Structures are given as C-alpha cells and as structure tokens.
Amino acid sequence: MDPVKFAIVGTGGIGTAHGRLMQSVPEVELVALCDIIPEKMDAFEEELGKPMRKYIQFEELCQDPDIEAVFVGTPNQVHVPVILETVKNSKNVMSTKPLSSSKEAAREAVEAAEAAGVVNMMSLTMRFSPSVQYLGKLCREGDLGEMYYARARSIRRSGIPDWNLGFVEAGGGAFRDMGVHVLDSSWWLLGQPKPVSVTGVGGAKFGPIGKGYWDFRVPPEDYWRKYDSDDYAGGIIRFENGTGLIVESFWASHQSPEVQVELFGTEAGAKLKPLTLYKTVNGAPHDSTVEIDDSQTRYAQTIFGHFADCVRNGTPEAAPLRHGLIVQEMMEAMLESALTGKEVLLP
Ligand SMILES: NC(=O)c1ccc[n+]([C@@H]2O[C@H](COP(=O)([O-])OP(=O)(O)OC[C@H]3O[C@@H](n4cnc5c(N)ncnc54)[C@H](O)[C@@H]3O)[C@@H](O)[C@H]2O)c1
C-alpha cells in the first residue's frame, strides 16, 4: 500500500511530535508543513533532514494536489477553520484534541467532514496509548462485567501552559486541554454511553493572578492578564444507562500530580496507572498489575496505521470527529454547569 501523504498544520509542540512519530510508521509519509511562523517550519525541516513543501497560509496548503491528509496541530481556536478548509478540498483530516474551542464550532466541523465523505479522525494520545487500548479490549470482552461507575482525573501542581495564548484565552482552559483526555478515555472504556446530564464546579484560582504556570515559571504580565478560561473543573456526568463518571481536571493545585482512570465493574475493577486489575478469586481479593510498553512508537503505529487503513481500505474510523463532538458537548456542559450553578441536560 502506498503511504498516505500527510501535511502538518501547526509545527509547534504537538505538530512536530506527530511529525517525528510519522517517521516510524511506513503507512504514512510527511510531505508538507504549514505554520504562520516560517522559522518553526525551517527548524523542523532541518531536523527531519528531508525537503518539505512549506506554506504559511493553510488555505494555500489545502490546494496542493499531492497532499492526501492534514494533521491539525494549531491552537484550539484554529482547529475548526483548518478542518473546514481541509475537508472542503476533499482531503482527509486528523485533528488533535480538543476538537474545538466551542460545541457550536465542533458541530460545524463534524457536519462538514461527514458531508465531504473524507476520513476524519481525532488524534487522541491517551485513548490510543497501549495501556488504554489494552484495558479497552478487556472491557469489550466483558472481563469487568457490567461497568457502572468510573473516576477520571488529570491533576498538575503547576502546569498552566505559558507558550501560547490559545491555551489561556477563551476556548482554552484546563478542561479542554487535559480533562479532555481522561474524559475521552474513560467514556470510551465505558463503551461510549449516551450522556444525559452534567453537574460541575470550576473556575480559575491561579492563572488570572500569574500563578500556577508551567514548572513554576512566571510568564510576562501581559500573558496572564489575558487569562479567560478555567484552570480547574470537576463534576459528574450521568449516562442514559445509569452509569456515572466523576471527572476532574486541574492545571494547578496544591495536590500531588496525577493522571488516573478507575473503572468499577460487577466482575472486576481496574486502574490505569499502574495498570491494575481487581478481582475476587475464591472469596478473596485478587489484584494483579500488568506491564505494558507504553512507548510513543506503539501509539504512532496504532493511530497512523489505522488512519491509513481507513483511507486506503475504507475501514470506519475508530475515533471519528463525531466522538470529539460528543466529548466537547460533555466538557462544555461541565463548564456551563460550573458557571450557572445548575445541572445541564444534554439533548
Ligand atoms: N497529547 C496531546 O494530544 C496534546 C499535547 C499538547 C498539545 N495538544 C494540542 O495541540 C494544540 C497545539 O498545542 P501546542 O502545545 O502544540 O502549541 P504550540 O504553540 O506549540 O503549537 C501551535 C502551532 O500552531 C501555529 N499556528 C497558530 N495559528 C496558526 C495558523 N492559523 N496556521 C498555521 N499555524 C498556526 C503556531 O505558530 C504554533 O507553531 C492544542 O490544541 C493542544 O490542545 C495536544
């Protein structure tokens, strides 16, 4: 099979990380880059050691007939404009999380991608990690029995990003940045039940006063003065089948840092880090830990190998943008509930 020819729009942290990972997957080939800061493209091209076609305007990149797929690695607020342009030009698309900075824009992206009939997928570093995939297989095969409850959290001590205003301005925030990963993964592990209501609390206790930034750094005042999103949020999501999910996300806190998912099933329970299964055997607790190679190259092979299979063989996407929309609706409901102090019902 010919490799799928990819372009990356946004050659910052996540774009270049995925560009590097593409080098280890034979089913895809990176051929073009796009960034509003040309020096970033030049530096990455040099690192890759092979010539890239380079564009400053993503609209222009989308006219390039040699490009089959676009990886979207821009700030949250710029995901949907890039997705819309990509699918308008009948190119396949993979977007980093979150799908968007609002549920309305997320819905527009999904509708356009589905109408265009292109392969459209979320790039989810946590859901497609070997540990979560391993746990997902156990859940699907019924090893945990009926799953009726889950807890998920992503907690940093001092981890507000200080390198891109998109993170802290409206449409950014801790929940869309980190909560999204544990929310998506736990929802997927639970078998993607239909969300019906969300109750949450949240706010910003560190960011707007210049505290809690990455690695205890102090950003310039004109950065933190523009803070306009949450730096923590947490609450409960209730699903149509009666399952409950507690989810928490803190960019900064006086707590120990942790990323965790815990599943409660009638036959067994599970914890993600370290990957542990809790069972009852012969009337006694029987707990076991599982060693998984969580390397980035295994993640890359899983996600890009699957994407190429979708493009070349018409296999349905394991994580279509529509999943990103459902997760976005849950996140926005959590933040709305925090703002209004009321439970939010999902249609
Ligand atoms: N594990 C993960 O899945 C993960 C990790 C980090 C970041 N992210 C996501 O990746 C996105 C970017 O985060 P980052 O940390 O890489 O930020 P970054 O600032 O390092 O990179 C963003 C890049 O996009 C470029 N850009 C901005 N507007 C553009 C435009 N109109 N056209 C082309 N390029 C443009 C910027 O110049 C920059 O190089 C965010 O949405 C974030 O949520 C995902």
Q: 231: Cβ below 6 Å to ligand 1?
A: no
> Rounded mean pLDDT of 161-182?
98
User: Which of 163, 187, 182 has the alpha carbon at shortest distance from 10?
Assistant: 163
Q: Give the pLDDT of residue 315.
A: 98
Atom of ligand 1 minimally distant from the CA of 74: 24
Q: 13: Cβ below 6 Å to ligand 1?
A: yes
Q: 43: Cβ below 6 Å to ligand 1?
A: no
217-270 pLDDT, tens digit each: 999 999 999 999 999 999 999 999 999 999 999 999 999 999 999 999 999 999
Q: Give the pLDDT of residue 138.
A: 98
Q: Give the pLDDT of residue 346.
A: 97
Q: 171: Cβ below 6 Å to ligand 1?
A: no
40-89 pLDDT, tens digit each: 999 999 999 999 999 999 999 999 999 999 999 999 999 999 999 999 99
Cα Rg, the chain, nearest whole Å: 20
Q: Give the pLDDT of residue 72.
A: 98
Q: 34: Cβ below 6 Å to ligand 1?
A: yes
Distance CA 259, CA 156 (A): 9
Q: 58: Cβ below 6 Å to ligand 1?
A: yes
Tokens of 190: 């639970």
How far, in Å, from the CA of 5 to the mean position of ligand 1? 21
Q: 12: Cβ below 6 Å to ligand 1?
A: yes
How far, in Å, from the CA of 74 to the mean position of ligand 1? 4
Distance of alpha carbon 15 from the chain centroid: 13
Q: 36: Cβ below 6 Å to ligand 1?
A: yes
- Which DSSP helix (H) or strand (E) runs through 83? helix 79-88
Q: Give the pLDDT of residue 245.
A: 98
Q: Give the pLDDT of residue 161.
A: 98
Distance CA 176, CA 164 (A): 14
User: Which of 139, 163, 111 has the alpha carbon at shortest distance from 275?
Assistant: 139
Taking all residues of the chain, what is their mean pLDDT, rounded to a whole number? 98
How far, in Å, from the CA of 98 to the mean position of ligand 1? 11
> Rounded mean pLDDT of 1-13?
97
Q: Domain 130-295+328-345 falls in which CATH fold?
A: Dihydrodipicolinate Reductase; domain 2 (3.30.360)
> Rounded mean pLDDT of 181-210?
98
Atom of ligand 1 minimally distant from the CA of 58: 32
How far, in Å, from the CA of 210 to the mean position of ligand 1? 22
How far, in Å, from the CA of 14 to the mean position of ligand 1? 6
DSSP-H helix ranges across 196-265: 221-224
Pick the residue whose CA is nearest to atom 40 on ligand 1. Answer: 75
Q: Would you say residue 284 has pLDDT above 90?
A: yes
How far, in Å, from the CA of 75 to the mean position of ligand 1? 4
Look up the CATH number of domain 4-123+297-318. 3.40.50.720
Atom of ligand 1 minimally distant from the CA of 76: 41
Q: 41: Cβ below 6 Å to ligand 1?
A: no
Please report, rounded to a whole number, the percentage of residues in the chain having pLDDT higher than 70.
100
Q: Would you say residue 1 has pLDDT above 90?
A: no
Contact 84, 9 (CB under 8 A): no
Distance CA 174, CA 197 (A): 21
Q: 157: Cβ below 6 Å to ligand 1?
A: no
Q: Give the pLDDT of residue 347.
A: 86
Other CB atoms within 10 A of residue 2 CB: 10
How far, in Å, from the CA of 191 to the mean position of ligand 1? 29
Strands 4-9 and 69-72: parallel
The ranges assigned to domains in the chain are 4-123+297-318, 130-295+328-345
* pTM of the model as a whole: 0.98
Pick the residue whose CA is nearest to atom 25 on ligand 1. Answer: 10
What contacts 16, CB < 8 A, 6 or more positions away?
Answer: 8, 44, 47, 73
Atom of ligand 1 minimally distant from the CA of 81: 31
How far, in Å, from the CA of 217 to the mean position of ligand 1? 20
Q: Convert the chain into a string of H (helix), E (strand) and C (coil).
A: CCCEEEEEECCCHHHHHHHHHHCCCCCEEEEEEECCCHHHHHHHHHHHCCCCEEECCHHHHCCCCCCCEEEECCCHHHHHHHHHHHHHCCCEEEEECCCCCCHHHHHHHHHHHHHHCCCEEEECCCCCCHHHHHHHHHHHCCCCCCEEEEEEEEECCECECCCCHHHCCCCCCHHHHHHHHHHHHHHHHCCCCCEEEEEEEEECCCHHHCCCEHHHCCCCHHHHCCCCCCCEEEEEEEECCCCEEEEEEECECCCCCEEEEEEEECCCEEECCCCEEEEEECCEEEEEECCCCCCHHHHHHHHHHHHHHHHHHCCCCCCCHHHHHHHHHHHHHHHHHHHHCCCEECC
Q: Give the pLDDT of residue 100.
A: 98
How far, in Å, from the CA of 18 to the mean position of ligand 1? 11
How far, in Å, from the CA of 15 to the mean position of ligand 1? 7
